[in-house]
Amino acid sequence: MSNLLVQNIKHTNGTTAQTIDSSGRVTTSTNRPAFMARRTSSQSAGTVVFDTVMLNQGSHYDNSNGRFTAPIAGLYSFSTVVLSNMGGTDNYFQLSLLINGTSYAKMQDYSYESNDSSGSLSVVASLSASDYVQVNFNQPYYGATSAASNFTYFSGYLLG
């Protein structure tokens, strides 16, 4: 068996890609694409634009159109939660994660007795460079200024 004894793995230009500390914990560069954004006001149905950015490593999430655009090909993890604003009606609602405008994952639920409900999705997707990901909701939903503060958000990051 061979051992590779290193503390850092670097690109030829000197940027550190990984660091291994004395306890064996591995950390990767802060250049890894990652984002977290939430909605700050209620909105009608359609593409959800998460307008308040909490984290945007690499600036690949655009809070003007609600899209994350992959900078490189790879596996990405995405998670979203949207709290419906059913306006006192019982109805079905659907939450969709779209890749390049096409549904990739979808969930559906029913709001009973005029109660608001939340939908959530967590997925792993293989993206090509320049593919974009966004969220769609078919009913009105709450943003962070309502009593439902922080219940409507979208996040993702490059797995590798």
What is the model's pLDDT at position 88?
67
Q: Tens of pLDDT along 113-147?
A: 666 677 899 999 999 999 999 999 887 665 554 44
H or E element: which one contains 67? strand 67-69
Residue 52 predicted with pLDDT over 60: yes
The pTM of the full predicted model, rounded to 2 decimals, is 0.83
| Look-up of token digits 């250049």 | 31
79-99 per-residue burial string, b: 16 or more CB within 10 A, e: under 16: ebbbbbbbeeeeeebebbbbb
Residues in the chain: 160
Total Cβ atoms within 10 A of residue 141: 27
3 Cα distance to chain centroid: 37
pLDDT of 85-95, one tens digit each? 766 667 778 88
Paired sense of beta strands 61-62 and 67-69, if any = antiparallel
Closest Cα partner for 124 from 104, 153, 107, 152?
A: 104
